């Protein structure tokens, strides 16, 4: 069981500001997010407790491609690359490509009657 942050001792003024700042931030995090820190319950439910999983996925999908030296990205370009890398990583790219080519064909070559249809209620 994780003790309540309110009952945890708070750091007193450290002589070194390099230590005091991070300690204060850690205390504020524990105080502000105590309602979300039920790790004992999450572990009992079998949920993973590790930011490393999320950080590894972010590094694999985003940073390894977008942090290339000298590269410049727009938000739409970065989102497009991220989407493709995610589709490839999770194995959904073949299904997505079928969907994408079908939609592009409809967009580029609409059926002659496609825009003249009336909606019936």
Decide if pLDDT at 61 tops 90.
no
pTM of the model: 0.45
Q: How far is CA 13 from CA 9, 49, 56, in A?
A: 13, 32, 35
pLDDT in tens, 13-45: 555 555 667 778 888 888 888 888 888 888 899
- Rounded CA-CA distance 66/44 in Å is 37
Tell me phi and psi for residue 119, to 5 degrees.
-85, 130
- Rounded CA-CA distance 64/98 in Å is 27
pLDDT at res. 2: 54
Kindly report the length of the chain: 121
Expressed in percent and rounded to 5, the helix, strand and coil fractions of the chain are 60, 0, 40
Mean pLDDT within 72-98: 90
Domain boundaries, the chain: 1-49, 51-108
pLDDT at res. 101: 96
């Amino acid at each position: 069981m994780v003790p309540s942050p309110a009952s945890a001792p708070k750091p007193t003024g450290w002589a070194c500001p390099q230590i005091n700042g991070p300690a204060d931030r850690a205390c504020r995090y524990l105080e502000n997010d105590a309602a979300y820190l039920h790790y004992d319950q999450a572990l009992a439910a079998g949920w993973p407790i590790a930011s490393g999983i999320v950080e590894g996925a972010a590094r694999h999908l985003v940073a390894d491609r977008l942090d290339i030296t000298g590269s410049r990205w727009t938000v739409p370009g970065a989102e497009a690359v991220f989407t493709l890398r995610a589709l490839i990583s999770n194995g959904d790219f073949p299904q997505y490509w079928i969907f994408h080519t079908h939609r592009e064909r409809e967009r580029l070559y609409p059926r002659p009657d496609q825009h003249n249809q009336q909606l019936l209620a």
